[in-house]
């Protein structure tokens, strides 16, 4: 399968992050790894792109973040832990519904129903 | 790893945002980049290639800057917009706070003079009319008003320079002082800068109110009120500055640590 580029993912990255956070709280690195694992390595976007999307989601109140408190077990800079908010959960449901409709309509038009 | 910090700074430095937000971005991006580097180092065993690969996987610094900039609220973007004159208005490395404040004041005087000359030129060349209402100001009064504005702007700039840069610099000196005498001297200088800065800011604010009082048909402040506002600023300014001194010093140190990085170092092709 050809890798999915950043251009193709435009507009969907936020939804993917929300879906990753539905499984539980995570920091940026864990979110990225979870997306990578779920896609089977098909996502071909730069890892730094995750953070602008996370900040946008935080600004919209879809995710909430806090700095990790204990860093004694791990040297280096602190990480921020993100979690899904109730508003984020609702947005994720709406995004899923939109996606189902999108796939059903375009699948029918292309002759390849989902 | 300095190369990783430099890469993070290449991304964050051009962003127009508040320092706390930029610090947050720096720390978070560095945490991710460090993990990337560790992963690559475990795979390749070579620091140079692990650094290059981690930076490549992280993405183009300029593109990332643009994306991060879009994630900053528009009001904050506007408030921290880097004007072309921003450079000269920043304190130079090694410049004393007093010199910085004076330089700021010179900028204020120059800007005030330019505005004043322009307004004077307009007032002289354009045939004026006598005010037809009692509450309208004459050209002469307008020029006096403008001079007041310029003076207030200068006092504000000078006061702000003394209060922010002076106090911050002396807090650094106090932290670095090795003898009790040096520490005491620094404390006295902090108090001096704080009192002088607060007095200037207070009198600028009160002067503004007096000016409004003189030129508009509304009464905001009396002459005795002017002195009360100034004295109030002197009384309240230094304690509030000193209360926030520790946070300010820590933030300044963190900010300067990042700002001092040379972005042309460790450039990866």
Domains in chain A and their CATH numbers? 4-110 (1.10.10.10)
CA B202 from chain center: how many Å?
18
- Which of B24, B31, B67 lies closest to A52 in CB terms? B67
Chain A: residue whose CA lies nearest to B34: A76
For the segment B228-265, what is each residue's pLDDT rounded down to a tens digit? Answer: 777 777 777 666 666 655 555 555 555 557 766 777 66
Q: Does B32 touch chain A (CB under 8 A)?
A: yes
pLDDT on residue B246 = 55
Helix/strand/coil percent split, chain B, to 5? 75, 0, 25
Identify the closest residue of chain B to A48 by CA–CA distance: B58
Residues of A in contact with B70 (CB under 8 A): 52, 56
Query: Which pLDDT score is estimated for B136?
Result: 58
Q: What distance lies between CA B122 and its chain's CA centroid?
A: 33
pLDDT, average across residues B46-69:
91
The answer to whether B181 touches B204, Cβ cutoff 8 Å, is no
Give the one of A47, A52, A56 whose C-beta lies nearest to B32's C-beta.
A47
* ipTM attached to this prediction: 0.84
Distance of CA B97 to the CA centre of its chain: 13
User: Of A20, A55, A53, which is closest to residue A34 (Cα–Cα)?
Assistant: A20
CA distance B193 to B174: 14
- Given this model, what pLDDT does residue B199 score? 82
Backbone angles phi, psi at B123, to 5 degrees: -65, -35
* Measured distance CA(A78)–CA(A68) in Å, rounded: 6
Contacts of B50 (CB under 8 A, 6+ apart): B37, B40, B41, B43, B44
Per residue in B161-185, pLDDT tens? Answer: 777 777 777 776 777 777 888 888 8
Q: Which of A27, A51, A76 sits opposite B29 (nearest CB)?
A: A51
Task: State whether residue A48 sits within 8 Å of chain B by CB.
Answer: yes
- Residues, chain A: 114
Contacts of B117 (CB under 8 A, 6+ apart): none
For chain B, the C-alpha Rg in angstroms (whole number) is 25
Give CA–CA dist B36/B197, Å, rounded.
47
What percentage of chain A carries pLDDT values higher than 70? 84
pLDDT at B29 over 70: yes
- CA atoms of A62 and A58, how far apart (whole Å): 6
DSSP summary character for residue A81: E
Q: What is the DSSP string of A11-66?
A: TTHHHHHHHHHHT--EEHHHHHHHHHHHHTT-EES-GGGHHHHHHHHHHTTSEEEE
Arithmetic mean of pLDDT, B21-43: 90
Contact list, B25 vs chain A (CB under 8 Å): 51, 55
Please give the Cα distance from B175 to B135 (Å, whole number): 56
The alpha carbons of chain A give a radius of gyration, in whole angstroms, of 16
Find chain B residues with C-beta within 8 A of A55's C-beta: 25, 68, 71-72
**Which residue would you say has higher pLDDT here, B93 or A97?**
A97
Chain B residues near residue A65 by CB distance under 8 angstroms? none
Contacts of B11 in chain A (CB under 8 A): 48
Residue B233, classified by CB atoms within 10 Å of its CB into exposed (0-12), middle (13-18) or buried (19+), is: buried
Q: What integer best gives the mean pLDDT of chain A?
A: 84
Distances (CA, A) of B212 to A19, B160, B199: 57, 22, 20
B83-139 pLDDT, tens digit each: 554 566 666 767 777 777 777 777 777 777 777 777 767 666 666 555 555 555 566
Q: Which residue has the tokens 């936020």?
A: A14
Answer yes or no: is pLDDT of B13 > 50: yes
- Whole-prediction pTM: 0.60
């Amino acid at each position: 399968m050809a890798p999915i580029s950043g251009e193709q993912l435009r507009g969907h990255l936020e939804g993917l992050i929300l879906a990753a956070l539905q499984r539980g709280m995570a920091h940026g690195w864990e979110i990225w790894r979870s997306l990578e694992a779920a896609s089977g390595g098909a996502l071909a976007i730069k890892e730094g792109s995750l953070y602008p999307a996370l900040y946008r989601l935080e600004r919209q109140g879809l995710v909430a973040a806090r700095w990790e408190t204990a860093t004694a077990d791990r040297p280096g800079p602190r990480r921020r832990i993100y979690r899904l908010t109730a508003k984020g959960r609702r947005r994720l449901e709406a995004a899923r519904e939109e996606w189902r409709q999108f796939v059903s309509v375009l699948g029918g038009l292309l002759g390849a129903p989902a | 790893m300095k190369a990783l910090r430099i890469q993070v700074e290449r991304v964050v430095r051009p962003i127009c945002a508040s320092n706390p937000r930029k610090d947050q971005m720096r720390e978070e991006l560095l945490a991710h980049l460090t993990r990337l580097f560790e992963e690559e180092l475990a795979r390749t065993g070579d620091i140079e290639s692990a650094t290059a690969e981690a930076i490549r996987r992280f993405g183009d610094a300029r593109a990332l800057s643009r994306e991060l900039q879009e994630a900053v609220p528009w009001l904050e973007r506007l408030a921290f917009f880097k004007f072309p004159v921003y450079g000269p208005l920043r304190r130079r490395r090694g410049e004393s706070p007093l010199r910085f404040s004076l330089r700021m004041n010179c900028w204020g005087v120059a800007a005030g003079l330019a505005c004043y000359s322009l307004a004077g030129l307009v007032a002289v060349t354009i045939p004026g009319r006598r005010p037809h209402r009692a509450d309208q100001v004459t050209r002469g009064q307008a020029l006096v008003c403008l001079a007041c504005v310029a003076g207030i702007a200068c006092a504000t700039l000078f006061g702000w320079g003394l209060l922010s840069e002076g106090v911050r610099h002396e807090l650094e000196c106090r932290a670095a002082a090795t003898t009790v005498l040096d520490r005491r001297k620094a404390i006295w200088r902090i108090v001096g800068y704080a009192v002088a800065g607060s007095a200037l800011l207070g009198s600028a604010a009160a002067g503004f109110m007096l000016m409004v009082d003189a030129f508009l048909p509304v009464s905001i402040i009396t002459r005795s009120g002017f002195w009360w506002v100034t004295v109030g600023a002197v009384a309240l300014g230094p304690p509030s500055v000193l209360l926030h001194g520790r946070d300010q010093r820590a933030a300044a140190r963190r900010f300067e640590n990042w700002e001092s990085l040379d972005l042309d170092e460790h450039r990866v092709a």
